Structure 1
Amino acid sequence: MKSINILKRIITSIALMLGILSYCQIGIGTATPHPSSDLDLGANNKALYLNRISNTTVIDDPQPGMLVFDVSEQCIKAYQDDPPKWSGCLDSASGIVSGFTCSSASFSPATANQGVAYTGTLTIPYTDGNGGTYSAQSFTQNGLTFALTAGNFSIGTGNLVYNINGIPTASGTTSVNIMAGGQSCNGLTLTVNP
């Protein structure tokens, strides 16, 4: 009886040590999962089918890195932790934002002078960027060239920054309309002194 108990203890100890030293990868459709993966889907004629939901609020205690397919918006969303929230639609090809905070848009310097060279920026805050790309833009208004360098929206909040250069040809206000990421800000004005 004592030898059986000792044998059980030895087997249990060996099993525990092997469990600690071993690691496990799961392969579905492959007998040899990639060593740096936990799950390797090996089919070459099938796809991963994400959970389909109509509203991300139905998920209790979401964790960073979770992915779902939002059927109401017909897109994939990811949960992120800084700040903790569900992302907008993930689409690496085209950047989108849920909105610009046009009332917080600002010119720096805040004013220009007619006939005098002006170099500055127009900064427009946005919300719910998806991390996708936006293309370069350039237009001229009242002798001032507004240029946006191509880039990526931040995931979440961020700023779109136009560089402005030129010599204002008329005094008063220079009004511009901005469109990017599926949203617009209309009537942003720069005061031009005589």
Structure 2
Amino acid sequence: MNLSKVANVNPYLLIDLDKGETSKLRRTLDPWQPAKAHAVTRLVGECSLRHGARLEIKEPRWETNIYPLYYYFWDQGYRGRKLYNQVIVDYKRLFPELASPSSGGDLYYELQRSTDAEIDLLIEDRDYFIFAEVKDPPPGKKAKFETRGGIHQLVRQFVQGKLLGRLIRKEFLLCTVGVGLCGPLRLNDVEKGLLAAVGGPGHELDVQNFDWDLLG
């Protein structure tokens, strides 16, 4: 085995995937530098602690406002309807214990739609990745979340992360920043079914929230 080649394998499977104009412009004008990692290290540490995950922080990198699952399949050469169909093909392959023969219809449609959920902040390291939904509501106001087709955006992000976690074989965590006190997210029946399809919680989604100063 050529150890030099093994050592040079890129451990970042999601970073730099997004081919959107905004992402390309950001990479051009604000290229990555290792010294920037401190901006997210504290958030990773606190997120790991609250989840009891014991993540080993090595060399975390981050990107903002991206669509990692969509561009994961785009990078594999899928386009248009074939891209969304491949989501279901890989779901059945990766979650055989949960993808029952009776599954389909609305469930598969919502799994496909999770591909289009924008991620405010993606943090990726060698063995894990984190999605963070970031809010900055006016003083005294509650943070607003998007709901499409009766599915809360945090549910879509959780589903997207669980799919990616099995695709790239890394641990996944979801958190929020700047939301304040909101408590666990109560789920409707469709959301319960969607989370159950990826091995998620059954009755509510408890997403840990952190203050902005952790990113300072």
TM-score (norm 2): 0.21
TM-score (norm 1): 0.23
Structure with the bigger percentage of helix: 2
**Structure of greater relative contact order (alpha carbons < 8 Å, 6+ residues apart):** 2
